[in-house]
Each structure stands twice: as C-alpha cells, then as structure tokens.
Chain A
Amino acid sequence: MNESTLFAIAFFTYIGAAFFYFFYLFGKRENLAKMGYTLSILGLVIHTAALILRTIESGHAPFTNMYESLSFLAWSAILAYVIIEGKFKLRKAGPYFMLIVIGLMALASSPLMPANATPLVPALQSYWLWLHVSVTLLGEAFFAVAFVTSIMYLIADSREKRGTAKEGAISSEKLDSVSYRCVAIGFPLFTLGGLVFGMVWAYKAWGTYWSWDPKEVWSLITWFVFALYLHSRVVMGWKGRRSAIIAILGFLAALFTYFGVNYLLAGLHSYA
C-alpha cells in the first residue's frame, strides 16, 4: 500500500461522504448525515495514514510542494470540519464543505501539480517548516469552515427575512455564532503559525524577521481582515451580514495568500 493509493482511497471516501451529505439535504433522514460524518472521519484516518507514509517515503514534512500542501490543507480542512460538526451539529454545512475539500483533493491530484517528492533545498531544512506550515494551514482550515457557514448565513438570513426559511433549516443566528467560533479558533492559530513562527523562521533562515515579501504582506492583510472582523463584532456589535461578508473576504485573502501569491506575485516564498 503506497501513499498515492491511500490518497486515492481517502479521496473516494470524501466523495462518498459528500454523496451521503447531499442525499441528506434532500432526503432529510438523520442516518444519511451520520453516514456522511462517519465517512468523513474514515477518510480523515486514511488520509492521515497517507500523510504519514509520505513523510516516511520522502524523509521530510508532507507539505513542501503544491501537491503535498494541497493534500495537507484538505486534511486540515476535514479535521476542522469534523471538530466543528462534532461540537455544533452542523450537518447541513456538510455537503458544501465537502465540495471545497473535494476541490482541494482534485486540484492536488491534477497533473498540473508536481507530485514527486523532491529533496529539500537548504532553506527548507528546518523543524520550523513543520511548525510554520502545519499551524498556519490548520488556522486557514478553520477560516474555510467560517467561509462556508458565513455564506450559509447570508442565504439563511435573506430567507428568514423573506419568510421563506425551510423547516428544520439551521437558524441564521446559529450560523453567525458558529462562524465566530471558527474565527476564534482560526485566528490564534493563524497568528501563531503564519506570523509568529514565520517571523522566527525568517530570522533564522534569512536573517530578518520581516522583509515585506508579497506572501508576508498578504498574510498580514488576512490577519488585518480577521482583526477587523473581531473588533467590529465584539466592540461595535456588527453581527450578521456585515460580519459574514468580512469573514468571507478574510478567507478569500487567506486563499490568495496561499495560492495567488505564488502564481501572480514574485517573492522570497518561491518554494510552494
């Protein structure tokens, strides 16, 4: 059993989970959602095994090129979702969230992404690679859950206002609160992994903790957007629509930091 086989099995398990979740959306049978949740956890376990195998095979952290880091992001996203769903019973978010995960997995397995494990260039040989990347991506995974629940909030809110909310739908109030909880977990993780660990590593490797490299600036922008989310919400009481829109923008900024910067802006972070 090698890493790519396990990755493929995990991928199909996630697709299975998505199917059950979608049937649940129409069929409304509790068991379907439970099956979706069980398959998500099963996929997570298989995916974990794939990541461990990748680490053993390559001899380094499983997030040093685009394939690896997409796979790890998908793994973090499932982990975040399993935790949030376990805590808040947000089954109706399942199908939409699984779509994002499947998108990430599909992107990871696309031929555009170089999958071969290559030896690490000198700058990446550091345990800070583990700390910096894993904690950052885990934080971003919670932003991804907040992104989904925020979009669901906008829909639920407009339905409630028009009086077309379906019976059994998650209330907009709950979606708003879950979004906040996700940001409240994601923000400290992102700060620690993305900014603090990033600065420490940059100081060790480049001799300067901050160089205004585009990836650094974009992670700072992401941080500012979520700081705005928290302040406008906690201090000024902006809940609901405005809050949801800021959370959506924040996730898009995180996504751009992760993806867009690599392809659109040149800089020091030219590894992955």
Chain B
Amino acid sequence: MSISFKSLETILERHPPSPEHLISALQDVQARFHYLPKEAMTAVCDHLGVPVSRGWAVATFYKSFSLEPQGEHGISVCMGTACHVRGARNLYDKFRRDLGLPGEEGTTRDRKFTLRQVRCLGCCSMGPVAQVDEEIHGNLNQRKAGQLIKLYRKR
C-alpha cells in the first residue's frame, strides 16, 4: 500500500529532528493514516535520527498505535471497573458476535468496523459505555449494542 508523501512531509515538518519527538510524530502519522504504514515509520525514524528498532519498539509498546489498517468505524468498548460491574464483558461479547470477529479484538472482513477494548473512557457515570468513532454512547445494553451496529453499518 502506498502512502501520500505529501501528507507525510507535512507531518515531518512539524517535528524538529530530535529523538524526543518520536512518539508525537508517530501519533500524527497514526491520526492521518489510521495506522502506521511501514514506509512512514521508517521515514519518521530517519527524520528524527533514531534507529528503526526504536520506532518499532515504541510502535508496538503503546496501544494507541496500530500496525494494520483500521476499519471505517472504530468501536471502543470501555472495560473500566465501573463498566465491568455493570456488564461490560457481556456487552463486549455481543459486539464481537454481531461483528463476527473470531479473536478478542480486530477488524471485520469488510473493513467496516474495528473493535477494541479500552481501559476506561472516564464516563463511569453512564456505564457501560462504548465509543464509536468520536461519539460516546452511554447506558448501553446488548440490545442497544445491536442497534448501534445496524446504525453505523448504514452510514
């Protein structure tokens, strides 16, 4: 998969060439492409003067980076304590079943959805909570989860 060099250059220009900017530069790449293309990671490392191995270590350590292309809609189900005691696990399994995902997390075959768990979105008062793209949906149950997926499938 080829990436737009123009947008990559814009990102690199924002970060002075010093190793401390590795994480923020990769975050910008992630925000732009929704994942870290290998070419982009190598380019960032070269620009900042850090070995690619360090870029790799950082990219695989932090959860906000993904090395695979993501689905059109990201569904993050909060697995914080407050949501947990209000049934987040069963809710998560419902999402997984409806999306037909075999593993714990992942992207659907049609690249429509990426499902992941997050450790607390800080909306504990309305748990269980899930975030679809930028929007937070509170007080969910399994039935509402099914409706949510149908809603976003149409978008």
A and B bind: no
* Residues of chain B at the chain A interface (Cβ within 8 Å): none
Interface residues, chain A, with chain B CB atoms under 8 Å away = none
